[in-house]
Structure 1
Amino acid sequence: MQARHSNSRYSLIGYILLIALAAFFITRTLLLVAAFQEADLSIIAFLKVYLLGLIYDLAFYSYALIPVTLYLLLIPERIWKTRLNRGLVQLAIFATIYGLGFIVAAELLFWDEFSVRFNFISVDYLVYRREVTDNIRESYPLPLYLSAIFVVSLFVYWLIADRIKAVLDVRETFRQRVVYAGGILLLPVVSFLLVNQDLRELSNNSYQNELASNGPYQFIAAFRNNELDYYKFYQTLPDSKAASLLQKEISQEAAVAPSFDIRRYIDNPGSERHLNVFLVMVESLSADYLGVFGNTEHLTPNLDRLAGQSMLFTNLYATGTRTTRGLEAVTLSIPPTPGRSIVKRVVHETNLWSIGNVLKQKGYDVEFIYGGRGYFENMNAFFAGNGYGIIDQSSTPDSEMGFTNAWGMADDDLYAQAIKAADSAYRADKPFFFHLMTTTNHRPYTYPDGRIDIPSGSGRPGAVKYTDWAIGEMLAKARQKPWFKDTLFVIVADHTSGSAGKVALPVRQYHIPMLIYSPEHIKAQKVDTLSSQIDVAPTLLALLNMDYDSAFFGKNILTMQPEDERALIGNYQKLGLYADNRLSILSPKRRMTRQVNPNASAPVETTLVAPDADIERDIAYYQGASYIFSQHLNAWEPPAVTQ
């Protein structure tokens, strides 16, 4: 079309639409190339991906049009042709083109990290800009990327510059503009009524579903739906039945109350042992990085050696795919409720039944020790409100941190702070429970020079090997301390390094290691019981022979019977229970599915029309967790001291 044919301001919307659709098409195609093998696309699936993708692209664009349409409608003719307005319109169009280029690059980088479109993680990244921008700056040649986007944007703008000038010369009455605006503003209404998240569920293959999505649309959807009401979106049972099933699950006895109140007294045999607990939660330590689980890259010589001297849990699964899920599960012993983790629910995230509160009541020095700044992900507020003192990067003198990156201090500096705190607790004649959270095994994968034989910043393998080195050094220093012989060293991952798979909940991508090392007190052995992160706290308290009141969902792994074994895994929407080589999954819209042999490379999901025994077990955990948390039934209420 020639520039002189433009007869409406709203021609600008058409020009940008074509550019936006091209950008979204390029993004989808590049992501498809990156995930081609996993996506397993037939011709029909290929067409569905692009057709549904176009629908989502148009839906996002229709929402983005609202302020633009109103501006074009309301600016009168005398202002429209002014130099100021012309400059603003031209600048806005160039900024839009540049923004689309930025979105293309951001989506490609986000996919490279997580193998999904924008989701809750991207929303969190927007909130915690300092860590994220530092991480991006340290991980990627940002000036090069931004410059390349700028050059491409200039070229695209040049292609339509004459058309933009022609539109800026158009004379158009208000009545004419109302007609155009009225038609255009119907589009977001249609999108709101007809387009939702359900459309993208075109296949059991999660890669296909992600490819059919639109990144900006998904970002807005995640921002709006960061918490989900279980009763509104998921399959339920009558509360009395779900409560009875849950109580039988967690107490191994008959129901003890007619409601979801799961508080009970745990009587562990033997005299209490007030041993120290040094719990190290390692960032992204997938089980398959360790040689004891079959890895042949020799990345974890210290952990592999330690595994032979420890109680090694070979069949433990993370509850989620984010650090806060791991922290939530280990600290509160609660399944992953749908939406964002409890750690980040800033209204009701404190005064909960935590292992920290239990041990603090028994006289322990209880600390959360984090390599980064604990305001990130609301961690400091969560732990401080649940019985913990806080040691983090912001409370550590600069002189005691030899190396930092976007996420915090290097692991060996973190361990130095923990050993320093242990020395202090020992001098005060107090047992300690320290929950450490590392940061180094995270992009940009940088660490101090001279520690290992893989250069800093070269990728995940180097970060894993450095993480292993730092653990070895920490234990070597701890062995010189008087408190070492009476300390349990617990090493467990927060989650794995990747959660993407052909299905929504790929069980293999939740498998994590846990080791408990204490030569004086723990016999070296393998524990093959299928178990969950929510079982860590009850198991540790059992090893200490602790009697305590409990509102925990987890169980002592060491006394589980075969029929008790299960792992609870989830993402932001799907809630799974893995047991007996079957994975039962609850999804929004009360959908229920089942995977048999879910550890296969491409397990097939089948849809259930009514709950069976496995699904009812699944429902009992998640319906119970949502009810108990929402009704504050796991609030910390220390039992009265009896004389």
Structure 2
Amino acid sequence: MNNYKNISIVLLKRLLLVVLIYQASRVFFFYMNTDVFQTFNLKTFKGGLLFDFAAIAYLNIIFVIAHLFPGNFKYEPGYQKWLKLSFYAINLLFIATNFIDTIYYRFTGKRSTFSMITAKGMEREAIGLIPSFLREFWYIGVAFLIFSFLFWKMLANFKQKSPIEKPTKNILIKQYSILILAIAAGLLISRGGFRKKPIKIVDAVAYGELGNSALILNTPFCILKTIAKKEDIDKVNYFKEDELTSIYSPKISLNPNQPQIKKNVVVIILESFGDENVGRGCTPFLDSLITKSYYFKNGFANGKVSIDAVPSILSSIPSLMNNSFISSSYSLNKIHGLPVILKKEGYNTSFFHGAFNGSQNFDQYAKIAGFDNYYGKDEYVGKEAFDGKWGIYDEDFMQFFCNKLTSFKQPFFSSIFTISSHNPYKIPEKYTGKFPKGTTVIQECIGYTDFSLRQFFKTASKQSWYKNTLFVISSDHTSSEGDRELDRTNIGLFSIPILFFDPSDPKFVGVNENNFQQIDIMPSILDYLNIKTEMVSFGKSYKSKENFVVYYLQGTYHYIRDDYYLAFANNKPIGLYNWKKDVYLKDNLLSKDPKRTGEMSNFIKAYIQTFYERVTNDALTL
């Protein structure tokens, strides 16, 4: 029994060491992202410990059995060597994800899940960008190697202290009892203790300040909780059908009393052009264009990654799922977006993306959405302009885009997604030193893409189709490089420029201060063109009296109406703020304004349920 006691102590020491490493990696995560998180207090620590215990219990239940299963086989040197190596390797693999997210979190705003690391269309991107990430963030690799070395050196070894003897019946009963108790304890810990339902990712909101969830969570837990999850969206049933439609309906009917305007439509999606990068000296052309456009001052993205932006902007489908719509199990749903609607009106339709074909599944989305043609890196024709990583430099690809537009029969609808203002932040060598470095690593590339946009408009303005075109410009999402406290709030993390520019209509100029989101772009374009249609849209036209915005991030729904912002998670409101007056979201009005809380909660519930029913029942068309 002495050997069994010794191996039990070895197991406890190994698990305790893993717990300490998880805590150390959280401190490192916080240290590397101190400008993002509000606090790291005792409540955060306790919450983090709960999720760490759960992840470690999930991962190591097999090792509990391997260490404690009765029998003398486990005292053999060969078995012990295998046990130590496998324990080290499996735990180290998942610990590595914590270190990866130390940087990756800046780009996504959330801990990585299984669907994020296995997303279709991202494989080549990841392979191409890994070398540049390793060069830029070399210190993360160094920190991980140090942790790996210390982990191995500190990992307890089993030492046989007494001769191996055949266990008696009583000893076997004791050992099996210990094993069963250990497994039971592991299962209890993995579910978060004595609770009705196992602990979930969204439960992190209960253990810290609003916006601190990623600090409380750990990446292994998020991966493990989503690895076997087949559904991309959580089922809800807040209201009966009649009550649901009385609160919110996504059906929009446009019935203009003016004749249709047969204008070309060009939608330009700018990579990472969040509000944190606009109006700060690195976007002189866009800043100038804003003054000549109909500009939505309070513009919002409906997601935090590029793959969320395309269905939001072009099909009015928000990102309210645990996975991006394009890579979800619902990606083949029928879509009644801009390509389909405008094609019925006689438009030629096309989608352009300068990255390699297949990047982020945009080529697949283009087919499903109804575009006539997709143009990626493979279709590019022009001088050599490959950035060496994943696509064609913006200036060259936008000139190619302009030339293709000139060749299309009018009216045409076309969209382009830029790529250069993205890690690894490369610009052509001939422009070295031309653009201001700015205050963050991305802003030089933002300056280059802004210059590319200027060159596009310079060429486009000479074309016959130019004055008969409505240009719509939107960022896909904010960047990871906001350097002001305002950029890091749950409002600032989604604040982007959105503008409509019609060179033939000098009256269509001004600043709209209503809340406007990417999913509002589709109905707004159709409304501007006086196109009669009925559709499912989770947004609203710029002419609408509605004034709301909805977005989602890792279990929390964010709902803005007028001057108020509501955070909603775990089927209940968790924060209400007057975001116009309280810009840093410090004064929680949840208990001070119960009437508004109730009204806003009912709307977001109805919105979530409607989205769930429409997506899961393939009812995104009428």
Query: What TM-score do you get using the length of structure 2 for normalisation?
Result: 0.84
User: How far does residue 323 in structure 1 lie from its aligned partner after superposition?
Assistant: 2.2
Q: Please say if residues 313 and 519 of structure 2, whose CA atoms lie closer than 8 Å, have aligned partners that are also in contact.
A: yes
Structure 1: gaps of 5 or more residues: 251-261, 637-643
- Give the superposition deviation at 1:472: 0.8
The counterpart of 2:225, out of the listed 173, 198, 221, is 221
1:371 is matched with which residue: 354, 360, 363?
Answer: 354
Which residue of 51, 55, 58 maps to 2:53?
A: 58
Contact 2:472 2:499 in 1 (8 A): yes
Deviations 1:129-180 (CA, angstroms, capped at 9, x unpaired): 43224323212337775566446534543444xx526269984768376444
Question: What residue is the counterpart of 2:496 in the other structure?
Answer: 512
- Which residue is 1:47 aligned to? 42
Q: How far apart, CA to CA, are the structure 1 residues paired with 2:606 and 2:305?
A: 23
Partner of 1:258: none
Are 1:196 and 2:180 an aligned pair?
Answer: no
2:157 to 164, 189, 203: 164
Tell me what 1:411 maps to: 394
Displacement after TM superposition at 1:432 (Å)? 1.5
Distance in 1 of aligned mates of 2:438 and 2:34: 31
Out of 16-25 and 103-112, give the one that drifted further: 103-112
What is the deviation of 1:279? 0.7
User: Structure 1 342/114 Cα, relative in aligned 2: closer, same or farther at 3 Å?
Assistant: closer
Q: Tell me, yes or no, if the aligned pair for 1:119 and 1:219 is still in contact at 8 Å.
A: yes
Q: Does the CA-based 8 Å contact 1:485-1:518 persist in structure 2?
A: yes
Q: Which stretch shifts more, 568-577 or 506-515?
A: 568-577
Distance, in Å, in 2 between the alignment partners of 1:153 and 1:38 is 27
Matched residue, 2:423: 443
| Alpha-carbon offset, residue 114 of structure 1 | 4.7
Mapped pair 1:574 → 2:556: yes
After superposition, the Cα gap between the structure-2 partners of 1:173 and 1:575, relative to the gap in structure 1 and judged at 3 Å, is farther
2:555 aligns to what SS in structure 1? Answer: coil
Specify the SS of the correspondent of 1:605.
Answer: coil
CA distance in 2, matches of 1:310, 1:502: 25
Q: Distance in 2 between matches of 1:579 and 1:304?
A: 27
Structure 1 CA distance for aligned equivalents of residues 154 and 608 of structure 2: 55
1:56 touches 1:213 (CA, 8 Å); kept in 2?
yes
Contact 2:55 2:224 in 1 (8 A): no
CA contact (8 A) 1:231 1:623 kept: yes
Confirm or deny that 1:182 pairs with 2:180: yes
Question: Deviation of residue 411 (structure 1)?
Answer: 1.7
- The answer as to whether partners of 2:319 and 2:551 remain within 8 angstroms in 1 is yes
- Give 1:551's aligned residue: 536
Residue 486 (str. 1) matches residue 468 (str. 2): yes
Change (3 A) 1:565 1:546: same
- Amino acid corresponding to residue 216 of structure 2 in structure 1: A
Q: Distance in 2 between matches of 1:383 and 1:492?
A: 18
Q: Superposition pairs for residues 275-314 of structure 1, below 5 Å?
A: 275-291=263-279, 295=280, 298-314=281-297
Shift of 1:108: 2.2
Aligned equivalent of 1:137:
131
| Matched-pair contact (CA < 8 Å) for 1:311–1:522 | no
Deviation at 1:396, TM superposition (A): 2.7
Corresponding residue of 1:17: 15
Moved more, 514-523 or 527-536: 514-523
Shift in CA distance, 90/319, structure 1 to aligned 2, threshold 3 Å: closer
On the 8 A contact 2:557/2:568 being kept in 1, the answer is yes
Q: In structure 1, what is the equivalent of residue 241 of structure 2?
A: 239
Say if 1:503 and 1:525 are closer, same or farther in 2 by CA, change over 3 A.
closer
Q: Give how far 1:433 is off.
A: 0.9
Unaligned runs of 5+ in 2: none
> Is residue 2:617 matched to residue 1:623?
no
Partners of 1:75 and 1:370 in 2: CA distance: 60
Cα distance in structure 2, aligned partners of 1:204 and 1:269: 52
Task: Find the aligned partners of 1:357 and 1:40 in 2 and give their Cα distance.
Answer: 45
Equivalent AA in structure 2 for residue 560 of structure 1: S
1:356 is displaced (CA, Å) by 1.0
* Alpha-carbon separation, structure 2, partners of 1:579 and 1:458: 32
> Alpha-carbon deviation of 1:403?
2.5
State which of 338, 354, 358 in structure 1 corresponds to 2:341: 358
Q: Which amino acid in the other structure matches residue 386 of structure 1?
A: A
- Alpha-carbon separation, structure 1, partners of 2:287 and 2:302: 24
Contact 2:53-2:190 within 8 A present in 1 as well: no
Alignment identity in percent? 17
**Conserved 8 A contact 2:264-2:469:** yes
Secondary structure in structure 2 of the residue aligned to 1:404: coil
Whichever residue aligns with residue 635 of structure 1, its letter is T
Q: Pick closer, same or farther for the CA change 1:470–1:224 going to 2, 3 Å.
A: farther
Displacement of 1:360: 1.1
1:417 and 1:177 map into 2 onto residues whose CA distance is 72
Residue of structure 1 aligned with 2:571, choices 579, 584, 589? 589
Give yes or no for the alignment of 1:535 onto 2:520: yes
Superposed CA offset, 1:496-532 (max 9, x none): 2259989997223322112222322453511313322
Instruction: Give yes or no for contact 2:272–2:422 (8 Å, CA) kept in 1.
Output: yes
Post-superposition offset of 1:394: 5.2
